[in-house]
Amino acid sequence: MSKKVVIVGGVAAGPKAACHLKRSQPDWDVTIVDQDNLISYGGCGIPYYVGGDVTEEKELRSTSFNMVRDASFFADTKGVNVLTRTRALAIDRQHKKLQVKNLDSGAEQELPYDTLMLATGAAPVVLPIPGADLDGVFTVADLHKAIEIKQRIAGGKVGQVVVIGGGAIGLEMAESFADLWGLETTLVEFMPQLLPRLIDADFATMLQRHLEEMNVTVFTGEGATEIVGDSEGRAVAVTTAKRTLPADLVIMAAGVRPRSELAQEAGLAVEPWGGITVNNRLQTSDPDIYAAGDCIAVKHLVTGKQAFAPMGSLANREGRVAADNMAGLATTFEGAVGSFIMKAFDRCIAATGLTYEAALAEGFAADYSLTAPDDRAHFFPTSASVAFQLVFDKRTRQILGLQCFGMMNDSISARINAAAVMISKRATIEDCMLAEMAYAPPFSAAVDSLNAAACVADNICAGRMRSLSMQRFSAWMDDFSREPDWLVLDIRHPTEAQPFVEKFGAEKWLAIVYDKVRTQYNEIPQDKTLIIFCGSGNRAYDIQIFLDYMGLRNSFVVAGGMKVIRWMGAEWLPQS
Amino acid sequence: MSKKVVIVGGVAAGPKAACHLKRSQPDWDVTIVDQDNLISYGGCGIPYYVGGDVTEEKELRSTSFNMVRDASFFADTKGVNVLTRTRALAIDRQHKKLQVKNLDSGAEQELPYDTLMLATGAAPVVLPIPGADLDGVFTVADLHKAIEIKQRIAGGKVGQVVVIGGGAIGLEMAESFADLWGLETTLVEFMPQLLPRLIDADFATMLQRHLEEMNVTVFTGEGATEIVGDSEGRAVAVTTAKRTLPADLVIMAAGVRPRSELAQEAGLAVEPWGGITVNNRLQTSDPDIYAAGDCIAVKHLVTGKQAFAPMGSLANREGRVAADNMAGLATTFEGAVGSFIMKAFDRCIAATGLTYEAALAEGFAADYSLTAPDDRAHFFPTSASVAFQLVFDKRTRQILGLQCFGMMNDSISARINAAAVMISKRATIEDCMLAEMAYAPPFSAAVDSLNAAACVADNICAGRMRSLSMQRFSAWMDDFSREPDWLVLDIRHPTEAQPFVEKFGAEKWLAIVYDKVRTQYNEIPQDKTLIIFCGSGNRAYDIQIFLDYMGLRNSFVVAGGMKVIRWMGAEWLPQS
């Protein structure tokens, strides 16, 4: 029997559900309503459109075979009706009707439905600060804003940009301004680190350092307090508690929140933070109303809690599951592990599952291995080092999360995706140690970087390896009086160790090269706590084992070693 | 209590086990014996050394921090004894002694052990054909052979090379000869396709075509019958049943077999094909003797059968597990799914799990989805198409295998590794549809290529999509009389379809563009079987659904579409 399905929202989850539903139920009447005239676009591509990697906005709403996805495309190729410039005003659940208004004509009408689906997406947060409504202040809300931002820059009217917010969108926008347009770009983030909650602090530091190398000025721990305008109402500066930053263009990228007002007003269950509550078939509290995309609450597969996961990729998956269930096909959407990846100039940063900080906060017996493996066989010419942080539960040995920072290529995807599958399947350290990563020297090391991270986790769990956090090591390097009995044992090549010995003196920085420690270990003072230091932590671990065996059990490994320190940057490093 | 451990074999599994064991049991006496003087090298790097990506052979046996891994390295840094140039002659299991012989002095001695480990590796198969022992005929057995091959080419003595064997090593060697050295390179493979058993025929065809574009001449279905020598005993040609190929250098890359003679002579259980039988703790039939690496039989995690999996990556994993068990730590090695990846000039080819042919042979209700998705957001400038073949069981919906062919970067690793984890966890099509692939436009499409492959598999299982194999379609294009009532419905852009209509006539090749089919479908003959044709199969599937709905149910989709056909190459394609 043919049914009427109405879908509110035409960007990602909505069109995906509509098209998939029409394929399983070609005789159903499927209508999408969207208040915009531009629909079905790759919103995640906006920074690449602004930055010029994507030349025209049409590319963001075209298929791979170059057809523009507008209302007639959906009618002609999919048999899906689309009402653009049509705002959903209210849901009459009793009579199963959606009240809508045409934004051009002002005409209102009621659309009857058998099944309704909400794909209302997310809206950018507009900070409640003075000047938020000035000319030249933009959120990255939709394609119209993107077009306007690009036009303004292309028109030569912009020299200085301030981006408010160091989340993924803010960072991607900052890159697009600095990279192609060469604008003087400053980013302010209220929290003490970039990508708060998505990555741990060390990784945020590595990212920030690279942005700074690429001429993006970054201030963390500084929220924007005001946007200053000139007499004509144009933004000219952003102020924080510490400074005033001149700006011709201000991007407010302070996060997004689910658009759930329609659901709320219709009395549907909504999480306290605004996400529409759904079951694993993506039904809301009204079984005839489905919801998918950025507007819903998604179960986090590690914590089991309802979470906000506004990702175009999840929206598409959810759209398909919602469509199947509307059609009576029993597929389920069980939740998400929260995979995330981002290009930042010449680097890639990614994470999946929980950060160490989040895992601790959730009550896990969390620990992590910090490693700096090569992304492929070290003898292969394109090989480069990567930083990995594998978060696990010491008690259950469950893998909880992975973070990676490295070169801009797909090698990090290759590990993050595998880890995401593992995490969703509640894999253990053993699973991760033995995971079969496809091996040939141009693609991987024989012990793949992901396997290696799990091996270190295993060493930590087994009590064989004791490591020192970067924070604690750096704090001590800044102020030796914190731990007067500490001594670095640098086992790198003498030419690498020499500048450190010269700078800090042998009483703080003792150099004995790796392959001489077994014969020269009696040169090591017995009354010191040794901080064993090498390029990545691997050799240091070997030496820790040996010294333990020799009765010198008071040592820590600097996990990640010199590689991670160099990526993070440190004032105390000798000039090279 | 300290124990004596003796390990036979010093390339991959042996050194890994020795070093890991010394870390958990620093007071144990661990000795490696190897008949070679060069040990602990990256054998998989040999083609890259010969091809010049790796300059010196020392790089293949150096650590990432540039120390050469020789006997004194293992003694000085790991506390592991290594006896090089020492051949293991026999195992005296009763008295727990290994009889060894020094190949330089000829002296024999007995090494007592508490635990013995066999890591004897694999040996290249030497084909029993005339001329196999001529000067200029090489197997890729070890580093010495590699050095000799490279010296011979560098000496300017080689103009023409014939590689016998189209497995991974043969292909990698062929690339190294043709790419850096510009040698006239011919490869012969006895089986009807390249990479037999590793990939299905369509993928072998795509690979072969690329090799030919890169000036490697390939003959499949032709075994070498003889190597012809000159009067001085130097190889000058290779003959097959069909031709004689001049050659100054012949590489015999006809596969490898486990080196298990020592185990066999000691009465240990060995599979009929030669792999040493081990349990999941990597113990042989003698619990005091472990085995790991290329010499063992590994359980295939999809078929459950004992399989040969000679991979440096697995050898390292097995070495760690063996060491843990020798030390009394209970880790297990459950088996392998058989992941494989290879660089071939500008392309990457990879597979994991079972091929379609293998899955059928194993009795699975096997089917596959053949797709040609983009490796990242299609609007992102570096995006490129990839061919995917996802093999599944129609009855259980279990994922059985994945094959990919695409550009030479890490994007295929990112999907193969995730699929390998899924396969090892017995994931279903649903799991694969919803797998959380990290998304941003520079890395992935919103519906990731792997998710998309699973969606097509779902469509096939649901009976919504009926597709035609490339073989059957190509056979018909070569000879229309095979299926006189077939008609192609080409729904691509008119400029793409036009040359085909001109060449084959509208009675065999009807063009109606995608977005016009819904209005012009009555131009389609009712009495024909329609072969719906587009760029990749996606649009064709949409149209199949629509035509089914309109009562025209006699149609097939050309899965993979024009993209896959172009990669495979076809004589019948119109000149463009």
The angle at the Cα of B29, spanning B24 to B35, to the nearest 5 degrees, equals: 110
Would you call B515 and A546 a contact, using CB atoms and an 8 Å cutoff?
no
Topology of the domain comprising B340-461:
FAD/NAD(P)-binding domain (3.50.50)
Nearest-angstrom CA–CA distance, A269 and A271:
7
CB count within 10 Å of CB A505 equals 11
Name the residue facing B421 among A79, A418, A545 (closest C-beta): A418
Chain B residues whose CB is inside 8 A of the A557 CB are: none
Q: First CA to last CA across chain B, in angstroms?
A: 76
- Tell me the three state secondary structure of residue A446: coil
Residue that has been written with the tokens 């020269």 in this structure: A520
Nearest-angstrom CA–CA distance, B321 and A318:
40
Size of interface A-B (CB pairs under 8 A): 311
Cβ–Cβ < 8 Å for B532, B489: yes
Query: Looking at residues A475-484, what average pLDDT do you find?
Result: 96
Would you call B45 and A549 a contact, using CB atoms and an 8 Å cutoff?
no
* pLDDT tens-place string over residues A79-120: 999 999 999 999 999 999 999 999 999 999 999 999 999 999
Chain A residues whose CB is inside 8 A of the B45 CB are: 377, 379-380, 441
Chain B residues whose CB is inside 8 A of the A168 CB are: 440
Domain A467-568 in the same topology as domain A4-41+52-121+257-326: no
pLDDT value at A140 more than 70: yes
The pLDDT score that the predictor gives to residue A180 is: 87
pLDDT value at A330 more than 90: no
CATH code that applies to domain B137-254: 3.50.50.60
Which pTM was predicted?
0.97
Nearest-angstrom CA–CA distance, B401 and B406:
17
* pLDDT tens-place string over residues A380-395: 999 999 999 999 999 9
The residues near B182 (Cβ < 8 Å, ≥ 6 apart) are: none
Chain B residues whose CB is inside 8 A of the A22 CB are: 545
* Residue B43 CB burial class (10 angstroms; 0-12, 13-18, ≥19): buried
Q: Which two tokens stand for residue B521?
A: 């479908």
Would you call B337 and A436 a contact, using CB atoms and an 8 Å cutoff?
yes
In this prediction, residue A229 has a pLDDT band, given cuts at 50, 70 and 90, of: very high
Cβ–Cβ < 8 Å for B73, B67: yes
In this prediction, residue A576 has a pLDDT band, given cuts at 50, 70 and 90, of: low
Query: Looking at residues A326-346, what average pLDDT do you find?
Result: 96
Nearest-angstrom CA–CA distance, A375 and A410:
10
Nearest chain B CA: its distance from A457 CA (Å): 14
Q: Which two tokens stand for residue B550?
A: 């309109």
Would you call B341 and A24 a contact, using CB atoms and an 8 Å cutoff?
no
DSSP letters, A316-369, are: HHHHHHHHHHHTT-------B---EEEEETTEEEEEEE--HHHHHHTT--EEEE
Would you call B414 and A414 a contact, using CB atoms and an 8 Å cutoff?
yes
Q: First CA to last CA across chain A, in angstroms?
A: 76
- How large is the angle between the packed helices A538-549 and B13-24, nearest 10 degrees? 50
Q: B61, B18, B47: which is closest to B161 by C-alpha?
A: B47
The pLDDT score that the predictor gives to residue B180 is: 87
The CATH number of A4-41+52-121+257-326, from 3.40.50.880, 3.50.50.60, 3.40.50.2000, 3.30.70.270, is 3.50.50.60
Nearest-angstrom CA–CA distance, B16 and A447:
10
Q: Which two tokens stand for residue B456?
A: 């097509």
Closest Cα in chain B to A318? B434
Nearest-angstrom CA–CA distance, A342 and A345:
10
- Quick one: three-class SS letters along A12-53? CHHHHHHHHHHHHCCCCEEEEECCCCCCCCCHHHHHHHHCCC
The pLDDT score that the predictor gives to residue A273 is: 97
Nearest chain B CA: its distance from A66 CA (Å): 9
Nearest-angstrom CA–CA distance, A508 and A480:
8
Residue B319 to residues A313, A462, B117, Cα–Cα distance (Å): 39, 18, 9
* pLDDT tens-place string over residues A154-174: 999 899 999 999 999 999 999
Spans of chain B below 50 pLDDT: none
CATH code that applies to domain B4-121+257-326: 3.50.50.60
Nearest-angstrom CA–CA distance, B298 and B287:
17
Chain B residues whose CB is inside 8 A of the A411 CB are: 410, 413
Would you call B76 and A409 a contact, using CB atoms and an 8 Å cutoff?
no
Query: Looking at residues A238-247, what average pLDDT do you find?
Result: 98
Nearest-angstrom CA–CA distance, B516 and B542:
13
Chain A residues whose CB is inside 8 A of the B381 CB are: 53-54
Residue A69 to residues A15, A22, A77, B246, B503, Cα–Cα distance (Å): 10, 16, 10, 57, 32
Residue type (1 letter), B285: S
Chain A residues whose CB is inside 8 A of the B348 CB are: 443
DSSP letters, A90-107, are: EEETTTTEEEEEETTT--
Percent helix, percent strand, percent coil in chain B, to nearest 5 = 30, 25, 40
Nearest chain B CA: its distance from A55 CA (Å): 9
Chain A residues whose CB is inside 8 A of the B371 CB are: none
Q: B431, B438, B363: which is closest to B397 by C-alpha?
A: B431
Nearest chain B CA: its distance from A540 CA (Å): 11
Q: What residue segments make up the domains of chain A, in order of their start?
A: 4-41+52-121+257-326, 137-254, 340-461, 467-568
Nearest-angstrom CA–CA distance, B543 and B548:
8
The pLDDT score that the predictor gives to residue B576 is: 67
Helical H runs in A219-300? 261-265
- How large is the angle between the packed helices B470-478 and B201-213, nearest 10 degrees? 60
Using alpha carbons only, how large is chain A's radius of gyration in Å? 27
The pLDDT score that the predictor gives to residue B141 is: 83
Closest Cα in chain A to B16? A447
Nearest chain A CA: its distance from B194 CA (Å): 18
Chain A residues whose CB is inside 8 A of the B521 CB are: none
Nearest-angstrom CA–CA distance, B31 and B235:
41
DSSP letters, B320-340, are: HHHHHHHTT-------B---E
Name the residue facing B352 among A414, A417, A438 (closest C-beta): A438
Q: Is A293 left (phi over 0), alpha (psi -120 to 50) or beta?
A: left
Q: Domain B467-568 is in which class?
A: alpha beta
Residue that has been written with the tokens 């996990």 in this structure: A559
The residues near B401 (Cβ < 8 Å, ≥ 6 apart) are: B302, B351, B352, B353, B354, B355, B356, B358, B359, B390, B391, B423
The single-letter DSSP state of residue B508 is T
Chain B residues whose CB is inside 8 A of the A16 CB are: 447
CB count within 10 Å of CB B299 equals 18
ipTM for the predicted complex comes to 0.96
CB count within 10 Å of CB A119 equals 30
Mutate to test the interface with B, among A56, A176, A421 (most CBs of B within 10 A): A421
Q: A90, A141, A137, A132: which is closest to A111 by C-alpha?
A: A90
Residue B255 to residues A146, A446, B337, Cα–Cα distance (Å): 56, 20, 19
Mutate to test the interface with B, among A410, A448, A533, A549 (most CBs of B within 10 A): A410
Q: Report the mean per-residue pLDDT for chain A.
A: 97
Would you call B336 and A436 a contact, using CB atoms and an 8 Å cutoff?
yes
State phi, psi for B243 to the nearest 5 degrees: -165, 170
The pLDDT score that the predictor gives to residue A122 is: 97
Mutate to test the interface with A, among B413, B552, B563 (most CBs of A within 10 A): B413
Name the residue facing A438 among B321, B416, B450 (closest C-beta): B416
E strand spans, B93-197: 97-102, 108-112, 115-118, 122-124, 137-139, 160-164, 184-189
